[in-house]
Structure 1
Amino acid sequence: MEEFGYRGGELYCEGVALSEIARGVGTPAYVYSRAALEGAYRELDEAFSGLDHLVCFAVKANGNLAVLRTLASLGAGADIVSGGELYRAVRAGFDPKKIVFAGVGKTGEELTSGLGERILTFNVESAAELEQLNETAARYGKKARVSLRVNPDVDAESHPAISTGNEDSKFGVPLAEAAALADHAAGLRCVELVGVHQHIGSQMTRLDPLVNSLKKTTDLVAELKSRGHEIRYFNMGGGLGIRYNDENVPGPRELVEAARPYLESTGATIICEMGRYMAGNAGAMLTSVVYRKRSGHKSFLVADAGMNDLLRPSLYDAYHEIRALKEDTPPTTADLVGPVCESGDFLAQGRELPDAAEGDALAVMSAGAYGFAMSSNYNSRPRPAEVMVSGDRWAVVREREHNADLVKGELVPAFL
């Protein structure tokens, strides 16, 4: 995280001390680096040099409008999985002709929205969805561009909850059934088969699983072409991992060079859909220590951020580096826990952490992806503010919620 580092003993994001942001907006708060977002996108875009390609951002990783606008302005596309993400992407300025729509449960309303925006492709994940899309398009006198999402039955070798390419996964069409479904699609009046899509998982730290999946799915492209289908787009998915701790993670150039022979063989425009790689290390969450506590043989730092603000540690037992805002803060061994009424509410357990005093702020690093996006109001806790830094300037890009926001839209019926 080059944009996050110590200068003169203080932790900075680009040209702004994080202590200044903590004082200005309070904690918890998410902080994003515009330069880090731009750098990650450009690194990916340049890695695909020599290939006709489109780098899409997986909106599910971070849907903040400022984050999305930053990437849209660079020419990125958007990978979406809901009607709400479509709304965000269009509002942030993404060209609809660079939007791809995945997900196993698209509703009729969501299909209609995608058709209305004339998005690039619907990544269809079942025969039933294909029929629904054809009927919806016919109702409005439109023709939908379709990519078949196939399941190559390859283990991504990441956390089971974020592996999506196994045979028993809910995602995609089994590879053995894809050609027959493609032939069926060709006979439908209001869909146009234009591509093949795969995505086997997230936070991949080895290239072998992805390369093995590409061997299978690019063979399918060749078979479909031999059957007369014009495959103009090949979506290789995303999932390239980032370094949270001490992982040895391949970079975009290594990824593309390993995959290039298979990608070139398709003769198609290559689409990739990275979320974590672009946003993960572009963000940190600030939290303050409310209390220090000892219970039995354990020491606790009780923070004002909890699992409702950053779910990944509780959900995936995920590691996030914890940094002090003052570089000379000595270490201690403790749990960093939140205020949520759950034993599973923690940000770090049994680790060497900054020995922060009550009132001191800490930075939870690599929190730009699946951080705020997975936050909730559990325990009726307002969600945190979001901030973007650009050089020596910073701005609030999402206001902190207040108690009134927690009951917005709720109604007490007259009979009560």
Structure 2
Amino acid sequence: MTAQASPNSKSATRRLVFPFTAIVGQEEMKLALLLNVIDPKIGGVMIMGDRGTGKSTTIRALADLLPEIEVVADDPFNSHPTDPELMSDAVKQLVEQQGGVKVAQKKVIMVDLPLGATEDRVCGTIDIEKALSEGVKAFEPGLLAKANRGILYVDEVNLLDDHLVDVLLDSAASGWNTVEREGISIRHPARFVLVGSGNPEEGELRPQLLDRFGMHAEIRTVKEPSLRVQIVEQRTEFDQNPQAFLEQYQAQQDELQERLVGAQERLKSVSMDYDLRVNISQVCSELDVDGLRGDIVTNRAAKAIAALEGRTEVTVDDIRRVVTLCLRHRLRKDPLESIDSGYKVEKVFNRVFGLEEAETEAVAATNGTGARAR
């Protein structure tokens, strides 16, 4: 793990961000984001919920929490200095010719995608004139290049043009962005954690696109007065003296950062029993989930949560904690149905994993004991 700068040196170089460990509530959103950082192949998070619930604050806090990464110096794509899968073609050539490259340390980048962004701004553009006159592939990188090995955040993703959402999801799934124009083709690595947020009142995302997000977190405005007061007081304290507020949480931030780094390293050695994998697929089948993306994402998320908690074996409880996040947005919506899709996922999960019977027996045992006591 890369050593972190002290809080004092941070303030001199960049804007201070509200600490991730100080955020109250919204556990679903925080868990989904952490799991995607541990395994970006989960496929991103769609966060739907009320306005003013701290979506942007939480995502910026997550990016700030992550340790610095090694990149190739002066490379616009944040290429990895040793992993060919995360290198641009130009860096690969350089490594083959010179045997190595100059390395720099860089903070994980969070790229905010504006709603009015054009495809050229997102994907990058090719300067055809320069390519024809000088015979070189003149490429102006876009936001996908900047977001490589970082976090790409799209606020109000349900208001973004469907074509652009498609482009983002394709890049997030494949890990590469390809730009083609007038017979010239350029590609570069685009591995990022895609985070979309929106308010359901302003329109839902099309089911085909919603299904492409790995996880779906629902957040609501905190109702409990004491918690609301705590959130307001924390925010006021941070705004008045950000440096002092950050120092209060520095030990917790460092501990969580170490857990994340350890989980990333541990992930490859995490295993899951065959029976558990069969049960996950049975849950997906009984819920009539289209395709196999739900099965794959649930498997990945369960392994990521085990890694986060320092274990190498997935338990039923790990699956229980992620299954709703991974499946509820993949269910076919019936406009006349009032039952929450999360409840449906939980009900089928409990039945398939035999938890329903265990709960019934426990209740019966408790009632029996109570009757005897009376």
Q: Report the TM-score, using the length of structure 1 for normalisation.
A: 0.28
Higher strand share: 1
Q: Report the TM-score, using the length of structure 2 for normalisation.
A: 0.31
